[in-house]
Amino acid sequence: MEAGAESDVDRPVDSDSPAAEESGTNQNSGGRSEPSPSKQGEILRTLATVEKDSQAIAESFSSLFVSLRSTLSEATSSSVDHMGCFGDAAGRLQETALDASTKGNRYINSCLRLNEEIKGVENLAARLKHLRRNVDVLDTAVNKLLRPP
């Protein structure tokens, strides 16, 4: 309703004034004016329209809240599902990282053992190289003795 319309409804109308004739109101003995039957019908129609519009708005709000509740429920459900998946993935990642760390430590320990063993082989290789030189010298000496020049 417009503000001007409210002031017209609230303002009393004198029966002697021209507004009383225009508005179609009848003054009763209590000093109160009652609208004419045509005005009463118009007021009732307006009230029915306002009531119908109010009911439509209420139904629209109700539908909106149901939709919002449903959407919020789905979002919450999705969030819970995602948190569960995240927890599972984090647990698997932790297990995999621990397994990889264990295997990495085993590999490092194996490399250290192999390195120690290779140090022993290097000493053996140095001795064999020295022995090979001695054998080559001996072979050359034997060849010189067996095949004179």
Q: What is the pLDDT of residues 112-138, one digit of tens each?
A: 999 888 888 888 888 999 999 999 999
- Angle value at C-alpha 142, between 140 and 146, nearest 5 degrees: 120
- Residue 32 confidence (pLDDT): 63
Residue 55: what pLDDT?
Answer: 95
Higher pLDDT, 24 or 113: 113
Residues 6+ apart with CB under 8 A from 20: 13, 14, 27, 33
At position 113, the amino acid (one-letter code) is R
Give tens-digit pLDDT for 99-112. 999 999 999 999 99
What's the chain's average pLDDT? 81
Q: Residue ranges per domain, the chain?
A: 39-116
